[in-house]
Structure 1
């Protein structure tokens, strides 16, 4: 353990440095992490990093899904639920079946069930990879919601396929009636348990005298408890975590105070970043072991690479075809949807048919695929080796690598080249909505003060000043109230005060906690200025 500790510390430092480099180069950090893992893996003398397959899901998956369910808009998910569920379930099942048929035909000794196992592993696109890549390109909110919502649910559908395929391989039989019953229990039971457990956690937060640190710690253990209970009940731990996370996210303002929300956001952002970084780095570091396993089977590396490329092309082509099929079905049966969609503002009809290709090209694979592949048991219940385990691991690795590098590096270029979205128009629309909300909110505050504190205003100069300030903001735009020059001067003044407090803390006996609270107020004020 002591020999591995420096290695893990160095790994974390490398993750942080590569993220900085990725931001500078405007490249998604998962791509650099995977490439770095490949480079580091060839350095001799490094310890072999292995994770217990039984724990791989439990360590990484629950917090990643939980955090994703907190960041997505539940209202937007309901608006686009049809296309989200289509991509998360129908497209995933169809992709898994296509991979099963292709691998059964082209890979010697690969049965349909083994193909379904492989299909369940490589069918779900990774939200982290997509999010990291699309942050460098402006895309409509509807598109990002579809991608985020799909990524929350497709993990569950793909892992259900994966679990049933494992059972069929282990027992040698597959009973459809039992499978259907198990599927319904996994979906409905997991969802219901997630909502019930989330309600219990809300009561814990509300009724116990928690503060921000305890609130954050409780939220850190919640996804693990949800996942563990659901899996013990032989239901879907993924859906339990997602349903529970969505319920908690929707009610966050009921049971968390502002301090818990602000601090919790920073903690979770850092925690999830490290988890993702470790996983993507491990993808590269696992290569030597995977290649070693391939060679031990007697299969040539060239053949294994060809199978990996074949499966990658299959899942990309299938996703693009499904995207166009969804567009055609929508045009035929629900043409009114396009009046609500952002594509309705595009005058060029050709762009409408480019959009499915872009959606299809966003299917980068990552964390879930790696976790599923690594969790395949080494041996069956009778002690015999698991068939083609090393080949499945290698094909999964090639698929992750190719989709990350090929699609990840080209997606921003394709979006910009296609000129699908008018960034200036979207920015003007967002600014207009922001100004309307701000103006209406200020008016409502003004009415509230008048109706409830008019007598206080007449007798209190400070309240009168506050009221005048609120009224003045309803009559001006953000640029008029605080233009770029004003913001620059204000930020300079904040920085001056921050340095003064830091020096005062060194030179005086004032309680440091008081100074820290004041510094935190300056940080909040600086962040507020960035939103103007």
Structure 2
């Protein structure tokens, strides 16, 4: 037990170290986690970890899927619905079929059911690494929305194929008509349960929003409730979790307050990171054992892993550079021309098809008596490794080489929202001037602050001079003001820490004031005035 505790401590330190290294190298952390997790399996003395396959999907998928759906843009999903559905259903089926054909042809003892299981595991994409890169490099939001939206739905469609193939591999029977019927029922049933639960939970969240801890707890539990309810009814728990997340995410401005949202952001960031890290580490624990049980040579395994990985990558490239031309030939409507995307953005989307947490969880969830389980798990890890490392590390170069850049739409939307909010604040302050309960000095002070913000936004829009009334550049004036505020906040913290050190105040008072000062400083960061 003591040995295991020390190992667990070492793993946590490794996760922290890999994350710090990823930040230093300016690469998404999943890339280094998959490398570090794979290497862990070869460290001597690591304990053997027995995983219950039935619990893997249940523990990991609901929160990951709910989080992705909750923070997804429903408006962008609607705008990009056709390419998202084509990729998340058509490309998933094509990937599962091509991987199954290649794997069955190369591996003599691999049944068709096991081959399709491998294909289903390799089919869903993970947008975490890709969207981190695309946002940093200013890729058009439309492309990022397609990548994110595709991953939301393809998890469900891929895992429906996965469940059917696993049942056939273990049970030994398969009927194409029954499989097609099950697919439709699973998808429709999962979405229906998610919709019912989502709309039923909206009033509950509205009543609970006064308690931030309760709101965060409910947001975590909802994904599990939707998933378990759907699975008990033999429909897609994945799509149920995604759907309830989309519904609650859309209504979040009306059913949560500032405290709940701030608490939720921090909670979900940490939880999603830990779940991803644990998944990669669990695979690392089992990698050496998987290879030990293989009778095939290292060269054969490497060849199989490389071939399956290339099949996944080439299939995506071929689909995204073929399907659009088929659509253009079939759909001659004028509106179709407005939806066209050039070959350069399509290459970026195609090269953003990394695999990650969902594929890992599906591989780990294979029943222990699944035929060729270790080989399927190894090949799935090869695909994840190849797509995350090869594509993840080269995606920035691809984006720069193809010169795929935002057309300014994201900046325009951001500016529109900020100006509308500022104008609303100024209008409300002028109205408050007429209220008897307000103090003119307070309103005037706030008006001056919002006037500076309004002029700064006008400058961004190119509608105002870049200097204030004193001849000082407005941007310089704003940053100087932010620097002064930071110095004032630092002085306040030092005073509070000194009182606590001298025993004049307790830790509870210190933490309360520290939180208030932190929120003031974070407001500067949110305005783009980071230190």
Using structure 2 for the length normalisation, give the TM-score: 0.89
Query: Hey, what's the Cα distance between the residues in 2 that align with 1:11 and 1:99?
Result: 33
- Say if 2:348 and 2:399, in contact at 8 Å, map to a contact too: yes
Q: 1:202 to 1:190 in 2, by over 3 A?
A: same
Partner residue, 1:192: 192
Provide the secondary structure at the position in 2 that maps to 1:55: helix
Partner residue, 2:386: 402
User: Of residues 362, 373, 380 in structure 2, which corresponds to 1:389?
Assistant: 373
User: Of residues 427, 446, 449 in structure 2, which corresponds to 1:466?
Assistant: 446
Deviation for aligned residue 1:22: 0.7
Deviation for aligned residue 1:268: 1.1
Query: Hey, what's the Cα distance between the residues in 2 that align with 1:134 and 1:358?
Result: 9
User: Of residues 423, 427, 451 in structure 2, which corresponds to 1:443?
Assistant: 423
Task: Report the more deviating stretch, 51-60 or 503-512.
Answer: 503-512
- Say if 1:61 and 1:368, in contact at 8 Å, map to a contact too: yes
Query: Hey, what's the Cα distance between the residues in 2 that align with 1:430 and 1:390?
Result: 45
- Answering whether residue 354 of structure 2 is matched by residue 364 of structure 1, we say yes
Q: Which runs of 5+ in 1 are unaligned?
A: 344-351, 380-385
Partner residue, 2:470: none
Query: Hey, what's the Cα distance between the residues in 2 that align with 1:467 and 1:31?
Result: 47
Partner residue, 2:491: 496
- Answering whether residue 352 of structure 2 is matched by residue 327 of structure 1, we say no
Query: Hey, what's the Cα distance between the residues in 2 that align with 1:139 and 1:458?
Result: 46
Task: Report the more deviating stretch, 439-448 or 80-89.
Answer: 439-448
Partner residue, 2:469: none
Q: How much is the aligned-residue C-alpha RMSD, in angstroms? A: 2.5
Query: Hey, what's the Cα distance between the residues in 2 that align with 1:413 and 1:209?
Result: 44
Q: 1:412 to 1:451 in 2, by over 3 A?
A: same
Partner residue, 2:345: 355
Q: 1:340 to 1:510 in 2, by over 3 A?
A: farther
Q: 1:354 to 1:178 in 2, by over 3 A?
A: same
Q: 1:6 to 1:218 in 2, by over 3 A?
A: farther
Q: 1:179 to 1:292 in 2, by over 3 A?
A: same
Deviation for aligned residue 1:135: 5.1
- Say if 2:320 and 2:346, in contact at 8 Å, map to a contact too: yes
| Deviation by residue 1:69-93 (Cα, 9 ceiling, x = unmatched) | 1221111111111111111111000
User: Of residues 508, 515, 521 in structure 1, which corresponds to 2:516?
Assistant: 521
- Say if 2:28 and 2:132, in contact at 8 Å, map to a contact too: yes
Provide the secondary structure at the position in 2 that maps to 1:286: helix
Task: Report the more deviating stretch, 323-332 or 301-310.
Answer: 323-332
Partner residue, 2:463: none
Q: 1:416 to 1:205 in 2, by over 3 A?
A: same
Partner residue, 2:278: 278
Provide the secondary structure at the position in 2 that maps to 1:33: helix
Partner residue, 2:467: none
Task: Report the more deviating stretch, 222-231 or 122-131.
Answer: 122-131
Q: 1:336 to 1:232 in 2, by over 3 A?
A: same
| Deviation by residue 1:251-284 (Cα, 9 ceiling, x = unmatched) | 1122222101101110111111111111123333
Task: Report the more deviating stretch, 208-217 or 226-235.
Answer: 208-217
- Say if 2:422 and 2:450, in contact at 8 Å, map to a contact too: yes
Deviation for aligned residue 1:14: 1.4
Partner residue, 1:346: none
| Deviation by residue 1:6-39 (Cα, 9 ceiling, x = unmatched) | 3223222211221111111122222222222233
Partner residue, 1:480: 474
Provide the secondary structure at the position in 1 that maps to 2:124: coil
Partner residue, 1:124: 124
Query: Hey, what's the Cα distance between the residues in 1 that align with 2:122 and 2:491?
Result: 53
Deviation for aligned residue 1:356: 2.0
Q: 1:365 to 1:22 in 2, by over 3 A?
A: same
Deviation for aligned residue 1:368: 1.5
Query: Hey, what's the Cα distance between the residues in 2 that align with 1:63 and 1:2?
Result: 31
Q: 1:209 to 1:157 in 2, by over 3 A?
A: closer
Partner residue, 2:300: 303
- Say if 2:208 and 2:214, in contact at 8 Å, map to a contact too: no
Deviation for aligned residue 1:181: 3.1
- Say if 2:28 and 2:129, in contact at 8 Å, map to a contact too: yes
Query: Hey, what's the Cα distance between the residues in 2 that align with 1:286 and 1:315?
Result: 23
Q: 1:521 to 1:331 in 2, by over 3 A?
A: farther
Where do residues 118-197 of structure 1 align in structure 2 (5 Å cutoff)?
A: 118-134=118-134, 136-197=136-197
Task: Report the more deviating stretch, 146-155 or 329-338.
Answer: 329-338
- Answering whether residue 501 of structure 2 is matched by residue 506 of structure 1, we say yes
Q: 1:292 to 1:254 in 2, by over 3 A?
A: same
